[in-house]
Amino acid sequence: MRSTTAVINLDHLRSNLAVIKQKAHGRGICAMVKANAYGHGMVQCAKVLEAEGVDFLGVALVDEAVVLRQAGIRMPILVLTPNEPQDAALAVTHGLTMVICSMEQARVLNAAAKDTKVGGHVFVDTGMHRDGFPFQEVHERLDELAQLENLELTGICTHLATTDVADDAFIQEQLERFSTVLKNCADRGRTFACIHAANTGAVWQTPESLFTLVRPGISLYGYASPLDPSVQLHPVMSITSRVISLRRLWPGETVSYGRRYAVDRPTTIATIPIGYGDGYSRSLSNKAHCVIDGKRYPVVGTVCMDEIMVDVGDDPIEVGSLVHLLGEQTTEDGSASVDANDLAQWAETIPYEITTMVGPRIPRTFIGGRGQ
């Protein structure tokens, strides 16, 4: 096994879920495990979340849900993007709950269900403008959906576009539109067991968005957006590697492709076996840091497909020294660490992308009991 590995702490996943449950004040939980549980290992994380009693698992694709079913997971699974027509039969066979975004999708699912029922949550577009029925047309569409005898509508939902921005006014505008839809539904005698709008950011900052179900994603894995210092979340993933070679460079010599880093003093360059082929983004070139022996060191030169280089100066680093690339804390006193927020800042992206990009070449080791 290569020295670059990811450790997935399932106890941290449980702890984060407990914090979210407290913040949700008794609402149901749809735990998002799409995109390989944001890079953490979909099946293993899903088994833990199932055992912890969440109400739904959330995925993006029917294919992801099928993988969960094949792994023995029997709890409700909500598919949050419109299924492609060829996946309708799979959705029915595996008892999935589909987010219904168009009449075309609904008719295909209804036909695939034949003599059984397929569950659906009506998706209301309140301003994201990605999927769903325009909020102005929902009631007309609900009348049409009611004619599809094999479609059982058990929920209604929307998606908020700006919950990564603190106190953004558009959140309230979307919620007002959604609340108007819900009131009009109630006035017409239409009720839904599941009503949901809140993703991670809304859970922390917008209590009026909680309704009956919430959809936490990145917060399950240790990161909240926007950050709330009062919330104690713990990153679930840590990545380590080891120094595989060292070389001494002299002033004026350069490192890696494009010669984008030139040393201005005698120094030692350490090579670490991780690169953009593993999901360690090329945009981290000359920006990121890692931790070796409790001290941060800069990643220098262009990130390669399989390796990065680190300037360790004159410090006594050796071949085989342990390198911390991602993790909550890497020293006993917490003096040096690198988490997904750090990497996201350096790469000018979001922590979601950092963890999701961690590729299959990096083996995952699961600790913390169930789900292994």
**Is 257 in the active site?**
yes
Q: In whole angstroms, give the CA distance from residue 268 to residue 313.
A: 5
**Is 114 in the active site?**
no
Q: In whole angstroms, give the CA distance from residue 194 to residue 28.
A: 9
Q: In whole angstroms, give the CA distance from residue 128 to residue 114.
A: 33
* Tokens representing residue 75 in the block: 């709890």
- Of 144, 170, 145, nearest to 158 by C-alpha is 170
Catalytic residue among 21, 23, 114, 257: 257
* SS3 assignment, position 357: coil
Q: In whole angstroms, give the CA distance from residue 329 to residue 240.
A: 12
- Residue 7 near residue 365, CB atoms below 8 Å: yes
Catalytic residue among 23, 34, 261, 352: 34
- Cis peptide bond N-terminal to 226, omega within 30: yes
**How distant, in Å, are the alpha carbons of 183, 184, 262 from that of 190?**
9, 8, 67
- Of 328, 323, 346, nearest to 273 by C-alpha is 323
* SS3 assignment, position 115: coil
Report the catalytic residues. 34, 257
